Amino acid sequence: MAGTAQIGVTGLAVMGRNLARNFARNGYTVALHNRTASRTRDLVEQFGHEGTFVPAETAEEFVAALERPRRLVVMVKAGAATDAVIDEFAPLLEPGDMIIDGGNAHFADTRRREAALRERGLHFVGTGISGGEEGALNGPSIMPGGSEEAYESLGPMLETISAKAADGTPCCTHIGADGAGHFVKMVHNGIEYADMQLIAEAYDLLRHGAGYEPARIAEVFRGWNAGRLDSYLIEITAEVLAHVDAATGQPLVDVILDQAEQKGTGRWTVQIALDLGVPVSGIAEAVFARSLSGHADLRAVGRGLAGPTPVALPADEAERFASQVEEALYASKVVSYTQGFHQLQAAGAEYGWTLDLGAIAGIWRGGCIIRAAFLDRITAAYAKDAALPSLLADEQFAGELGAAQDAWRTVVATAARLGIPVPGFATALSYYDALRAPRLPAALTQGQRDFFGAHTYHRVDRDGVFHTTWSEDRSEEQQS
């Protein structure tokens, strides 16, 4: 007998459990399964009243509970566990059935799994899900890859449980074939790293440059949140900075150990950007800044190095500086999104995905950590010109960065003068200036390469490939 559940979730730790509840709360009948059956029973005991659940103890029962074509969501620990679950379930499924991997898989694993399951007539839908446990329950941003055919069957359900943007649009769209969904989720996380790093630098500048205390900085961030920087991350930054530690009476931020951790998706973004040859320097600096913070021994040695001790600016200058920091933060943020979207464009070309970059920005407007008013602007930029080569080629963004650049330069220069590290702000400004430059010193790099390794070069005035015999000051054209 065919099952009745429209969807099933296997893997009922915090993410899977909340996702299953989200489906049930939206009126779907949800089959439940977990390797350790007690988790399944707990869910039904605690939340059974929220909707219609069909608990299953064995894989066979679980598969039998699903209507056809079956939609089976896997929410287990990414990596070997995902392969183990696929190996367990795939033999029980029939052509046309769908396995939806909602974990944080590496997109290359997703491509491998999709290809293998396609051979067996099964759809494998690697799906990026952003928003943590709260998002999983109340509406995440959802980035499904896989085939069009699978999306036709699955998409409406995912759109129903997804977050909604302020204009009511679901934060879910079909991203593209095979691993496209997990790729986009990965870049989303990389951008999140960059956003967080830039905000942290802005805080450091306000603290040690403007000389503001955390409570005052919280106020500044609240003000920024009412403007063009309006976003979840700016909002929570104000909350974190305003928080006072109950045990010591100090600002909590002062008693938190200053060593940041990372889960790996930011690192993947940078690793893959290197493979694709895309400069995502903002994301890379964010990953490196976290790494550096964790090298406690190195930092202990480095504390003795010479440098200026930051002396806060006079009060009247501090206020102007704070508004310049806002401009620098906004401009640097635009650059890190520019770089992230460049990576998406490059991946689309490399892996044959037709990515709708405007729609991708659109589904990050709700549910996820980087949700921000500013994303509407990215959608608008791609709506104007879907083939925009870079976000900085958009007139509006270019105009805003042009208007911000004096402040941006002042902030980076002031940080250097005061000895405040701003790797994110500085690399963003360098990227901007490198794009503006009529000539880059890459010409010299090419000369050096030809000098020591006969790597050849191109000329600006003639076609062809050239090599100079440096000892004889003789340049000759080479056949390529």
Residue 379 C-beta: closest distance to ligand NBP, Å? 22
Enter the tokens of residue 165: 């943007």
Contact between 264 and ligand NBP per CB under 6 A: no
Binding characters for ligand NBP, 194-213, by CB under 6 A (x = yes): --------------------
- Answer yes or no whether residue 36 interacts with ligand NBP by CB under 6 A: yes
Near ligand NBP by CB under 6 A, which window of 76-84, 143-151, 293-301, 309-317?
Answer: 76-84
Smallest gap from Cβ 188 to ligand NBP, in A, equals 10
* The only residue of 132, 279, 419, 447 in contact with ligand NBP, by rule CB under 6 A: 132
Catalytic residue, candidates 192, 201, 285, 327: 192
To the nearest whole angstrom, how small is the minimum distance from the Cβ of residue 99 to ligand NBP? 13
Residue number closest to ligand NBP, CB atom: 103
Q: Which helix (H) or strand (E) holds 89?
A: helix 80-89
Tell which one of 20, 43, 72, 78 touches ligand NBP (CB under 6 A).
78
What secondary structure letter does DSSP report for 170? B
Of 79-87, 388-396, 437-445, 467-475: span binding ligand NBP (CB under 6 A): 79-87
Distance in angstroms (rounded) separating the CA atoms of residues 246 and 251: 9
Does position 260 bind ligand NBP by CB under 6 A? no
Residue 130 binds ligand NBP, judged by CB under 6 A: yes
Tokens standing for 92? 């029980």
Residue 82 vs 324, nearer CB to ligand NBP: 82
Judge whether 164 is annotated as a binding position: no
142: left (phi over 0), alpha (psi -120 to 50) or beta: beta
- Determine whether the annotation assigns residue 15 to a binding site: yes
Identify which of residues 63 and 85 has a Cβ nearer to ligand NBP in the complex. 85
First-to-last C-alpha distance (Å) of the chain: 67
Which single residue is written with the structure tokens 């990389």? 190
- Rounded Cα–Cα distance for residues 321 and 208 (Å): 11
**What is the Cα–Cα distance from 393 to 399, expressed in whole angstroms?**
10
Residue 34 near ligand NBP by CB under 6 A: yes
**Contacts with ligand NBP, 381-420, as mask; x by CB under 6 A:** ----------------------------------------
- The letter for the amino acid at 452 is F
Q: Which stretch binds ligand NBP (CB under 6 A): 14-22, 58-66, 158-166, 312-320?
A: 14-22
- For the chain, the 3-state helix, strand and coil shares in percent, each to the nearest 5, are 60, 10, 30
Told to judge if 472 belongs to the known catalytic residues of this protein, a careful annotator would answer no
Q: Is 39 in the site for ligand NBP (CB under 6 A)?
A: yes
**Residues between 81 and 100 that touch ligand NBP (CB under 6 A):** 81, 84-85
163 binds ligand NBP (CB under 6 A): no
Residue 30's beta-bridge partner residues? 7, 53
Could you say which DSSP state residue 222 is in?
H
Identify whether the C-beta of residue 264 lies closer than 8 Å to the C-beta of residue 290: no
Beta carbons of 351 and 231 less than 8 angstroms apart: no
Q: Nearer to ligand NBP by C-beta: 126 or 340?
A: 126
Nearer to ligand NBP, 81 or 346 (CB): 81
CB atoms within 10 A of CB 225: 19
**Is residue 143 within the footprint of ligand NBP (CB under 6 A)?**
no
Amino acid at residue number 226? A
The answer to whether 76 contacts ligand NBP (rule: CB under 6 A) is yes
Say what the alpha-carbon torsion angle 114, 157, 2, 149 is, to the nearest 10 degrees.
Answer: -40
Specify the pairing of strand 474-478 against strand 465-469.
Answer: antiparallel
Q: Which stretch binds ligand NBP (CB under 6 A): 78-86, 90-98, 151-159, 234-242?
A: 78-86
| 141 residue type, one letter | S
- According to the annotation, is 112 in a ligand binding site? no
Closest CB to ligand NBP among residues 11, 362: 11
Q: Does 14 engage in binding with ligand NBP (CB under 6 A)?
A: yes
- Of the pair 124, 330, the CB lying nearest ligand NBP is at 124
In this structure, the chain runs to a length of 480
- How many C-beta atoms surround the C-beta of residue 399 within 10 A? 10
- Which DSSP symbol is given to 91? G
Token look-up 């429209």 returns 6
Stretch that binds ligand NBP, among 124-132, 142-150, 415-423, 457-465 (CB under 6 A): 124-132
Q: Which two tokens stand for residue 219?
A: 């106020």
**Annotation says 185 is catalytic:** yes
- Exposure on the CB side of residue 232, measured as CA atoms within 13 A: 14
Is the Cβ–Cβ distance between 364 and 354 less than 8 Å? no
For 301, half-sphere exposure in the C-beta direction (CA atoms, 13 angstrom radius) is: 4
Closest Cα partner for 101 from 72, 61, 131? 72
Q: Which stretch binds ligand NBP (CB under 6 A): 31-39, 222-230, 342-350, 471-479?
A: 31-39
Catalytic residue from among 114, 159, 185, 326: 185
Tokens encoding 354: 């037709």
Size of site (CB under 6 A) for ligand NBP:
23
Q: Is 269 in the site for ligand NBP (CB under 6 A)?
A: no
Question: Binding residue per annotation — 11?
Answer: yes
Residues near ligand NBP, by CB under 6 A: 11-16, 34-36, 39, 75-78, 81, 84-85, 103-104, 129-132
Known binding site: residues?
Answer: 11-16, 34-36, 76-78, 104, 130-132, 188-189, 193, 263, 290, 449, 455
Catalytic (active-site) positions:
185, 192
